[in-house]
Amino acid sequence: MDFVWLLALGCFFVVTFLLLNGISSLRTDK
Amino acid sequence: MDFISRLNSGGVALHVFVSGIAHAGAILMTINTFLQIGLFTVILLACVKPLGLFMANVYLGRPTLLDRLIRPIELWFYRVAGIDSKSEMTWLQYASSLLTFSFVSIIAVYGIQRLQSLLPLNPESLDAVSPDSSFNTAISFVTNTNWQGYSGESTMSYLTQMLALTVQNFMSAAAGMAALVALIRAFVRQETTLLGNFWVDLVRGTIYILLPLSLGLAIILASQGVVQTFSPYREVALLEPTTTSEGKSITTQKIATGPAASQVAIKQLGTNGGGFFNANSAHPFENPTPFSNLLQLLSILLIPAALCLTFGEMVGDRRQGWALLAAMSIVFFIMLGISLYAEHQGNPALAKLGVDQATSDLQSGGNMEGKETRFGITNSVLWSVATSSASNGSVNSMHDSYTPIGGLVAMWLIQLDEVIFGGVGSGLYGMIVFAIATVFMAGLMVGRTPEYLGKKIGAFEMKMASLVIMLPCVVVLLGTAISLMLTQGREPISNPGPHGFSQVLYAFSSAANNNGSAFAGLGANTPFYNGILGLSMFIGRFWMLLPVLAIAGSLAEKKKIPNSNGTLPTHTPLFVVLLIAVVVIVGALSFFPALALGPIVEHILWTKN
């Protein structure tokens, strides 16, 4: 079960870093 | 009054006399209420300026009183950790460092909980925490939410409480303050991409501000009777032995103790709120005396209020800080008044049964269900309003038992994006984002240039501000809707009808806004709620932080423009009113339909029946 919850945590952070990247490129595009 | 009336039924003279007693009692109660709130307000305001200026000095790198003692420790820490304290970061580097630090913290808290049965300082031999609860608690404490699906004394070893939870109480608060300071620097600096060093801000916030304050408070709390020990739980003889339903005699009771004082101090100062014991600050070992209650109440609002002045000092115009503090305080006291009035009215269902709920010399009166008699209405409601406005989440009474309007006040204060004082750091950066939205809207209405503290507010800042303002609303409403559609979401609700709806709405409001308090009736320690509330807390913290830091990055690059006739002054009463209007209207428009299904309809049902 640990694997499932740790995987979920990992996914949250990956998506968050992608969001960070997205916001960053939005700034560059302005 | 009813008790004496029953003894003397029919006596007209005595009836007048008894009414007089009740009236005098009510007046006494009112004076008592005003005195207590007045004392609390005066002490709090007296602390705002010195602490606010001290914190500004810490973050500006100016000399402080603590330098001789702490500076060598700070420098040693940088050396050991390999931190170059002179180098600064762009907003992207700052955000990445914060996220990386949080990721490592969450994994560490998760790991300690799962391994606690193998680790020392576990005198009760408690088992490992379940995976879903560990997941929820790890996110909860790292995001400064401190939502607790578990019961501290029956779940967490002393080591877990100290090494996992208390450490994160410090770290999450310091991380929130660091993000705020980065945003403030963006207003001070111009034409730069650099916002400071996250690691330096994290370390200085922890060792100059949070640790000394917590150490002092913990010692005072211990002197009041808050427990601080590594001894195992005590087995004591019951004064009145009892029997179970199976006829088994019970003669002893186990009393939980532990290193609580050190955790309670930072739990309040860092607007964390997670209790050492399940009953939180209603527990006599966590909040034993009226003095400990006053100190903890003050600690809840102390740093969030003082940070307003830190902001004013750092941007070079203290009036800006006072204006934000005024806006927060006005909303706070209005909501406090409404909640006090509602709770003093009592429960109409009990009134119908003839229960005496009048305020008198013999009882505090009003709705005392779920409240400690030693705290009464005033100290319970003051705590409830402070903890829900300040994103603290600790409780000394049970919000589930408040009147519908009292519960609504707590819930709505949380739903206002936690900007009325809010979390340590996070409350003020949320309020600054609202201030940016306010100058933009005011600019649209009267044709003034949208600028705040000399920085022009452009399309990018407004897009990011909209994300910050709307994201928690979306998470709260979607999370509540999804939970109510699923069996796993409905089963743990302990009350039918609108009150049950309120329990779920409150849980998501608390999680997505990183408050952490609960309508205690929802049995949320299930894999479903641990998962979905964990996700809500995560989004509420980190997805809010990114746009805030992006705004900081964008503003720091802009030139400061001097004030002109077209500039809207942002330290005036007019701006304070505009700011309050924007915060309240956003909160009201976003949540009125949901609140109508919960506490509002419950209130109507109460008054009709």
Q: What pLDDT was estimated at residue B27? A: 54
Q: What pLDDT was estimated at residue B70? A: 97
Q: Residue B474 — pLDDT band, cuts 50, 70, 90?
A: very high
Which residues in chain A have their CB less than 8 angstroms from residue B535's CB?
A: 12
Q: Across the interface, which of B110, B531, B543 has its CB nearest the CB of A16? A: B543
Which element (helix H / strand E) includes B563? Answer: none
Q: What pLDDT was estimated at residue B18? A: 37
* Residues B275 and B258 sit within 8 Å (Cβ to Cβ): no
Give the Cα separation of B221 and B264 in Å (integer).
Answer: 8
Q: What pLDDT was estimated at residue B521? A: 84
CA distances from B583 to B246, B316, B469 (A): 56, 25, 9
- Tell me if B546 and A12 make a contact (CB, 8 A cut-off): no
* Residues B531 and B132 sit within 8 Å (Cβ to Cβ): yes
Return the residue of A nearest to B129 by Cα. A2
Amino acid at B108: A
**Residue A6 touches chain B, beta carbons under 8 Å:** yes
* Residues B103 and B143 sit within 8 Å (Cβ to Cβ): no
With a CB cutoff of 8 Å and minimum separation 6, the contacts of B353 are: none
**Residue B531 touches chain A, beta carbons under 8 Å:** yes
Query: What would the mean pLDDT of B129-154 be, rounded to a whole number?
Result: 96
Which residues in chain A have their CB less than 8 angstroms from residue B99's CB?
A: 13, 16-17, 20
* Residues B514 and B144 sit within 8 Å (Cβ to Cβ): yes
Is pLDDT above 80 for B22?
Answer: no
Q: Are strands B451-452 and B234-243 parallel, antiparallel or unpaired?
A: unpaired
Phi, psi angle pair for B380, to nearest 5°: -75, -45
pLDDT in tens, A1-30: 899 999 999 999 999 999 999 999 987 644
Is pLDDT above 90 for B599?
Answer: yes
pLDDT in tens, B411-436: 999 999 999 999 999 999 999 999 99
Query: In 3D, which of B225, B24, B168, B214 has the Cα closest to residue B514?
Result: B168
Geometric angle at alpha carbon B312, from B306 and B318, rounded to 5°: 105
Mutate to test the interface with A, among B92, B141, B143, B468 (most CBs of A within 10 A): B92
Query: In 3D, which of B329, B379, B453 has the Cα closest to residue B29?
Result: B379
Query: What would the mean pLDDT of B205-230 be, rounded to a whole number?
Result: 98
Query: Residues B4-28, buried b or exposed e (16+ Cβ, 10 A)?
Result: bbeeeeeeeeeeeebeeebeebbee
Which residues in chain B have their CB less than 8 angstroms from residue A8's CB?
A: 135, 531
CA distances from B42 to B37, B175, B336, B378, B407 (A): 9, 29, 16, 16, 26
pLDDT > 90 in chain B, percent:
85
Mean pLDDT is lowest, of B1-10, B182-191, B239-248, B358-367, for B1-10
Query: What would the mean pLDDT of B234-239 be, rounded to a whole number?
Result: 94
* A29–chain B nearest CA distance, Å: 10
Q: What pLDDT was estimated at residue B567? A: 87
Query: In 3D, which of B376, B149, B422 has the Cα closest to residue B270?
Result: B422
* Residues B379 and B386 sit within 8 Å (Cβ to Cβ): no
Counting Cα atoms < 13 Å in the Cβ hemisphere of B549 gives 33
Q: Return the number of other C-beta atoms located less than 10 Å from residue B330's C-beta.
A: 15
Which element (helix H / strand E) includes B234? Answer: strand B234-243
* A2–chain B nearest CA distance, Å: 6
Q: Across the interface, which of A8, A19, A24 has its CB nearest the CB of B92? A: A24
Q: Residue B29 — pLDDT band, cuts 50, 70, 90?
A: low
Q: Across the interface, which of B135, B531, B546 has its CB nearest the CB of A23? A: B546
Task: Give B234's strand partners.
Answer: B255
* Residues B484 and B504 sit within 8 Å (Cβ to Cβ): yes
Which residues in chain A have their CB less than 8 angstroms from residue B526's CB?
A: none
Q: Which residue has the higher pLDDT, B350 or B452?
A: B452
**Residue A25 touches chain B, beta carbons under 8 Å:** no
Q: H helices of B82-166, where?
A: 91-115, 131-142, 152-155, 158-159
**In this complex, how many residue pairs, one in chain A and one in chain B, have their CB atoms less than 8 Å apart?**
54
Structure tokens at B222: 């211990």
Q: How far apart are the first and last CA of chain A?
A: 44
**Residue B464 touches chain A, beta carbons under 8 Å:** yes
Chain-centroid distance of CA B558 in Å reads 34
pLDDT in tens, B182-202: 999 999 999 999 999 999 999
Give the Cα separation of B518 and B126 in Å (integer).
Answer: 25
Query: What would the mean pLDDT of B235-253 be, rounded to a whole number?
Result: 92
Query: In 3D, which of B405, B383, B420 has the Cα closest to residue B517?
Result: B383
pLDDT in tens, B59-82: 999 999 999 999 999 999 999 999
Q: Across the interface, which of B107, B459, B547 has its CB nearest the CB of A23? A: B547
Q: How far apart are the first and last CA of chain B?
A: 24
Query: What would the mean pLDDT of B114-133 be, rounded to a whole number?
Result: 97
Q: Residue B448 — pLDDT band, cuts 50, 70, 90?
A: confident
Phi, psi angle pair for B521, to nearest 5°: -75, -15
Is pLDDT above 60 for B4?
Answer: no
**Residue B134 touches chain A, beta carbons under 8 Å:** yes
Q: Return the number of other C-beta atoms located less than 10 Å from residue B83's C-beta.
A: 17
